[in-house]
Amino acid sequence: MPASDPATPVILDIKERIAVVTIDSPPVNALGHAVRSGVMAALDKAEADDAVDAVVIRGAGRCFSGGADIREFGTPPAEPTLRQVCARVEDFPKIVVAALHSTAFGGGLELPLSCHYRVADASAQIALPEVKLGIVPGSGGTQRLPRIVGAKRALKVILSGDPFAAREAHDLGVLDAILDGDLTAAAVAYAAKLVADGAPLRKVRDLAVADADAEVFAEARKTWEKRSRGLLAPLACIDCVEIAATKSFDEGMQREREIFVACRDSEQSKAQRHLFFAEREAAKVKDVPRDTVKRPINTAAVVGCGTMGGGIAMCLVNVGIPVTVLETSEDALKAGLAKIEKNYAATVSKGRLTQAEMDKRMGLINGTTNYADLGPADIVIEAVFEEMDLKRTIFGELDKVMKPGAVLATNTSTLDIDEIAAATKRPADVIGTHFFSPANVMKLMENVRGKETAKDVIATVMALGKTIQKIPVLVGNCDGFVGNRMYHRYTRQAYFLLEEGALPQQVDKVFLDFGFAMGPLAVGDLAGLDVSYLVRKRQVQFIKPGERWPVAADRVVEAGRKGQKTNAGWYRYEEGSRKPLPDPEVQKIIEATSAELGIERREITDQEIHERCFYALINEGAKILDEGMAQRASDIDIIWTNGYGFPIAKGGPMFHADQVGAKHVYERLAHWAKVASPALEPAPLLEKLARTGGTFADL
């Protein structure tokens, strides 16, 4: 029988009285209907065969199993369901051993959890990632795992959703043994020994849950109510594990199913599943073939070791890429490196990094004030002050010293990539790599292609993003790129709303109610209001006749209120506290500005704030898509959920637009454009979607 036959994705083979059931369904042995039926049929044969003493279930090819195909979500479950397969395995009259290699994720772990024993080779990784998709494990994972490893450890695995390597999984008690040599042969020998030793059929359903104290669950709820920011799945997972600890197995299975269905059908889970696929899509560049040969990146350089340069250097050395950092003087260099060191030391003191690992990483960073030292690097990332002339001078220098083929990247957040590239004789090698602050923490990497950026440079930088564990998204070269360009649209509306009658705390509350951790005015205070003030001063020259300017925002800074650093911005702050407190002084400044502008203040509803801010965001997103500055609407969602705190439960601005409907967004924008702010004139693409009933997802 040929391997990998889609019609026969499960192969039964008998070796020394052990039936080996091999799931062979490339690429990841997803547990689709044919696989489930195949496992059932193989088990029937193995049960009936007197020459079989025990069963080993294994995966062929790349991994044990990547789990259920979540694209099956929309369809009614076809029998046998994974739950039925798991029950059959658990009740099987002969010993069943799961033999895991590489990934055993989701359903791909729930099946092994129903086996009587679990072994693996050193490559194995286990995970129950369902929580990240807004659901609970739905095939007994929440009921069996706590019975195997206890409540606390089960919560750790289920709530993190993260992979655990074989060694950790063994320490947790998920695996009975890690085997050396050929896994199938070793697992067959392991099963034969169990039979020879008269080992019991260890039915997980019959085990009691260890460390199932009420405090364990109370503690978990306390932590996750804060951490999950409105996401329901983590709390639903805790409920399921508590049920496992306090109710019968059958009742637990019943409740797990009900909770799974409720989660699956929620808007949140839809949003999270959208983001799951969106993140994978974002890595693909439409006109850059997957097999484009990338330039090797083994060494790197960073110019400027300030807030961003230091963080970027950390990202690189964290994955073992040596970095040479250039600063203007020995003192500046010392200060920059000291900041990096302090950052690492804080992680060491929290116990999240060993001193030895910190030393290793610091050892990979070299400092210099001499451009010639950067020459051999495979990539250089510039992160100096946001000034065009300075950046052009630096790129001119880099052009002289960097080896041919080096990637020349800039971390600019607003400047024209083509203008920077034009300072070199190799614009095809120039690209934007826009990191977010703090660069060593924030996941988003907005890569900006210039008009001459070479395809292999794009492929190289997108791949580097993955290597340094970021989420890379490719965008076009326009003012503010995608993220900041949209951000400015809604902050502008927030400022205008203040001038028309709202107060900072009211505007920010609408954002908090929507699921943001902070509103735009509190964010402004955190970032420093003087920073955006200076940017605006530079933009003044570009104001079009009749264009409205956010005057109140200028007046607040002109009153010496620069945000948290002066304990006064849109809010006031007690010494040493970051809690924004409403301030009557700010109200006075805002009211005086309204008078200065001849605006009669009126009552502003929360609905108006919501629509003018969030729909402004969507409107700009539509313009960006129309101009081809983002490849797809879902890329914008990835940028916003990973770089700007847009609530994951809402799936990003463009997904949200599709949920409320383009027609509604269009009509409300048209209304506000007429009565309050012409800047809200609906984008042509939005108008088209509204007229045709289209969605951003289908563009």
Active-site residue flag, 90: no
Q: Which residue has the tokens 């979500």?
A: 73
Residue 77 interacts with ligand NAD (CB under 6 A)?
no
Residue 303 interacts with ligand NAD (CB under 6 A)?
yes
Greatest CA separation for the chain: 93
Using the contact rule CB under 6 A, the part of the chain among 225-233, 321-329, 424-432, 621-629 near ligand NAD is 321-329
Residue 307 interacts with ligand NAD (CB under 6 A)?
yes
Residue 444 interacts with ligand NAD (CB under 6 A)?
no
Using the contact rule CB under 6 A, the part of the chain among 63-71, 108-116, 320-328, 593-601 near ligand NAD is 320-328
What letters, b where the CB count within 10 A reaches 16 and e where it falls short, cover 158-182? bbebebbebeebbebebbbebbeee
Instruction: State which residue, 33 or 565, has the beta carbon closest to ligand NAD.
Output: 565
Residue 375 interacts with ligand NAD (CB under 6 A)?
no
Q: Tell the smallest beta-carbon distance from residue 410 to ligand NAD (Å).
A: 7
Cα separation of 239 and 611, whole Å?
36
Instruction: State which residue, 340 or 680, has the beta carbon closest to ligand NAD.
Output: 340
Residue 327 interacts with ligand NAD (CB under 6 A)?
yes
Select from 609, 624, 593 the least CA-distant residue to 676: 609
Residues 10-39 that bind ligand NAD (CB under 6 A): none
Q: Tell the smallest beta-carbon distance from residue 287 to ligand NAD (Å).
A: 26
395, 401, 406, 409: CA torsion to nearest 10: -20
Residue 411 interacts with ligand NAD (CB under 6 A)?
yes
Instruction: State which residue, 527 or 673, has the beta carbon closest to ligand NAD.
Output: 527
Residue 14, phi then psi, degrees to nearest 5: -110, 125
Cα separation of 308 and 407, whole Å?
18
Cα separation of 426 and 420, whole Å?
11
Residue 248 interacts with ligand NAD (CB under 6 A)?
no
Select from 274, 265, 263, 203 the least CA-distant residue to 228: 263
Residue 437 interacts with ligand NAD (CB under 6 A)?
yes
The answer to whether 484 and 413 are in contact (CB under 8 A) is: yes
Residues 412-431 that bind ligand NAD (CB under 6 A): 412-413
Cα separation of 556 and 549, whole Å?
14
Given candidates 97, 145, 285, 308, which one binds ligand NAD under the rule CB under 6 A?
A: 308
Given candidates 52, 189, 288, 332, which one binds ligand NAD under the rule CB under 6 A?
A: 332
Residue 309 interacts with ligand NAD (CB under 6 A)?
yes
Using the contact rule CB under 6 A, the part of the chain among 233-241, 247-255, 306-314, 619-627 near ligand NAD is 306-314
Residue 384 interacts with ligand NAD (CB under 6 A)?
yes
Q: List the catalytic residue out of 90, 130, 327, 611.
A: 130
Query: How many other CB atoms sit within 10 Å of the CB of residue 579?
Result: 9
Beta strands in 24-162 (DSSP E): 54-59, 95-100, 103-105, 117-120, 125-127
| Helices 307-318 and 355-363: angle between axes, nearest 10 degrees | 110
The answer to whether 543 and 549 are in contact (CB under 8 A) is: yes
Cα separation of 483 and 642, whole Å?
10
Q: Tell the smallest beta-carbon distance from residue 439 to ligand NAD (Å).
A: 7
Q: Tell the smallest beta-carbon distance from residue 309 to ligand NAD (Å).
A: 6
The answer to whether 268 and 348 are in contact (CB under 8 A) is: no
Which residue has its beta carbon closest to ligand NAD?
306
Q: Tell the smallest beta-carbon distance from residue 538 to ligand NAD (Å).
A: 12
The answer to whether 295 and 456 are in contact (CB under 8 A) is: yes
Instruction: State which residue, 132 or 391, has the beta carbon closest to ligand NAD.
Output: 391
Given candidates 230, 306, 582, 661, which one binds ligand NAD under the rule CB under 6 A?
A: 306
298, 303, 306, 307: CA torsion to nearest 10: -50
The answer to whether 135 and 116 are in contact (CB under 8 A) is: no
The answer to whether 650 and 515 are in contact (CB under 8 A) is: yes
Cα separation of 439 and 141, whole Å?
36
Residue 501 interacts with ligand NAD (CB under 6 A)?
no
Using the contact rule CB under 6 A, the part of the chain among 249-257, 405-413, 568-576, 615-623 near ligand NAD is 405-413
Displacement of CA 290 from its chain's centroid (Å): 22
Using the contact rule CB under 6 A, the part of the chain among 104-112, 325-333, 626-634, 636-644 near ligand NAD is 325-333
Q: Tell the smallest beta-carbon distance from residue 577 to ligand NAD (Å).
A: 22
Active-site residue flag, 499: no
Instruction: State which residue, 112 or 563, has the beta carbon closest to ligand NAD.
Output: 563
Instruction: State which residue, 385 or 542, has the beta carbon closest to ligand NAD.
Output: 385
Given candidates 99, 109, 157, 383, which one binds ligand NAD under the rule CB under 6 A?
A: 383
The 3-state DSSP composition of the chain as helix, strand, coil percent (nearest 5) reads 55, 10, 35
379-382/407-410 β-pairing: parallel
| Helices 606-626 and 684-692: angle between axes, nearest 10 degrees | 100
Given candidates 50, 385, 546, 584, which one binds ligand NAD under the rule CB under 6 A?
A: 385
Q: Tell the smallest beta-carbon distance from residue 393 to ligand NAD (Å).
A: 7
The answer to whether 216 and 151 are in contact (CB under 8 A) is: yes
Displacement of CA 269 from its chain's centroid (Å): 15
Q: Tell the smallest beta-carbon distance from residue 428 to ligand NAD (Å).
A: 22
Using the contact rule CB under 6 A, the part of the chain among 91-99, 173-181, 314-322, 327-335 near ligand NAD is 327-335
Select from 529, 531, 550, 543 the least CA-distant residue to 596: 550
Instruction: State which residue, 304 or 524, has the beta carbon closest to ligand NAD.
Output: 304
Q: Tell the smallest beta-carbon distance from residue 480 to ligand NAD (Å).
A: 11
Instruction: State which residue, 371 or 549, has the beta carbon closest to ligand NAD.
Output: 371
Q: Which residue has the tokens 């799951």?
A: 276
Q: Applying CB under 6 A, what is the total number of residues that bind ligand NAD?
A: 25
Cα separation of 260 and 254, whole Å?
10
Instruction: State which residue, 102 or 410, has the beta carbon closest to ligand NAD.
Output: 410
Cα separation of 390 and 256, whole Å?
60
Instruction: State which residue, 332 or 660, has the beta carbon closest to ligand NAD.
Output: 332
Q: Tell the smallest beta-carbon distance from residue 110 to ligand NAD (Å).
A: 42
Residue 287, phi then psi, degrees to nearest 5: -100, 15
Residue 314 interacts with ligand NAD (CB under 6 A)?
no
Residue 326 interacts with ligand NAD (CB under 6 A)?
yes
Using the contact rule CB under 6 A, the part of the chain among 54-62, 248-256, 292-300, 406-414 near ligand NAD is 406-414
Q: Tell the smallest beta-carbon distance from residue 437 to ligand NAD (Å).
A: 3
- Edge-to-edge order in the sheet of strand 125-127: 103-105, 125-127, 164-165
Displacement of CA 410 from its chain's centroid (Å): 23
Using the contact rule CB under 6 A, the part of the chain among 96-104, 278-286, 383-391, 459-467 near ligand NAD is 383-391
Q: List the catalytic residue out of 110, 256, 499, 608.
A: 110
Which residues participate in catalysis according to the annotation? 110, 130
**Binding interface with ligand NAD (CB under 6 A):** 303-309, 326-328, 332, 336, 383-386, 390, 394, 411-413, 434-437
